[in-house]
Amino acid sequence: MERIPILRMGDLLLVTIQVDMHDRLAMTLQDDLTQRIVSDSAKGVLIDISALDLVDSFIGRMISNTAAMARVLDAQTVVVGMQPAVAITLVELGLTLHGVKTALNVEKGMALLGKNHF
């Protein structure tokens, strides 16, 4: 079964979403991330969506849920690289991604995670 790869960098998990995800794939990613946070004792999750030209309510919910579950497991989530067209569409759609921190790029995302670590 196809999966989106999750990389580990110290106590951070890094996910780069580069494909047009169908709903099942998104759910699998959510499950995988939650499992890896526990198995790798991760303190932070960085989700890079700079390659996504579409974020609909399902993917939005997947991201919110992942962040919520991570928080329960004492890990921070940051979503980076949202494209302007996607951001504008999400605002129009009414999707707020409540409880999810965002940053413009991976570098800033890591800085954000580093700050809130301790």
Partner 1 sequence: MSAAHNTAVPFETGLLDKRRALRTARLSLPLRTDEDVVYLRKHVREHAVAIALSLVDQTKLVTAASELARNTIKYGGGGEVHLDDMLDGFKKGICLIFVDDGPGIPDLDLALRDGYTTGGGLGLGLSGSKRLCDEFEIDTRPGEGTAVCIIKWKR
Partner 2 sequence: MSTQDYAARISQIVQDHQSGIGAEWVAQLDALTVRSNVVSKEQLRNHCQQFLAAFANATRAGELQNIEHRSWDEVRDLLADISSSRARGGSTPSETATFVFSLKQPLFAELRNGFAGDAEGLANASWTVTTLLDKLGLFTIENFQRTRDQIIVRQQQELLELSTPVVKLWDGILALPLIGTLDSARTQVVMENILQKIVDTGAAIAIIDITGVPTVDTLVAQHLMKTIAAARLMGADCIISGIRPQIAQTIVHLGVNLEDVTTKASLADAFVVALERTGTAIVPKSARA
Q: Give the binding site for partner 1 (CB under 8 A).
A: 20-25, 53-58, 60-61, 84-86, 88-89, 92-95
CA 109 to CA 96: how far, in whole Å?
A: 19
CB of 36 to partner 1, least distance (A): 23
Q: 8 or 24, CB closer to partner 1?
A: 24
Find the Cα–Cα–Cα–Cα dihedral 103, 83, 36, 23, rounded to 10°. Answer: 150
56's contact among partner 1, partner 2, none, with CB below 5 to 8 A by partner kind, is: partner 1
Question: What is each CA distance from 61 to 11, 25, 66, 117, in whole angstroms?
Answer: 25, 14, 8, 25
Q: Give the footprint of partner 2 on this chain (CB under 8 A).
A: 79-80, 82-85, 87-88, 90-92, 97, 101-105, 108-109
CB of 63 to partner 2, least distance (A): 11
Q: Quick one: tokens of 16?
A: 């780069």
Number of H helices, E strands in the chain: 4, 5
Q: 34 or 48, CB closer to partner 2?
A: 48
CB of 107 to partner 2, least distance (A): 8
Strands 76-80 and 44-48: what pairing? parallel
CB of 91 to partner 1, least distance (A): 10
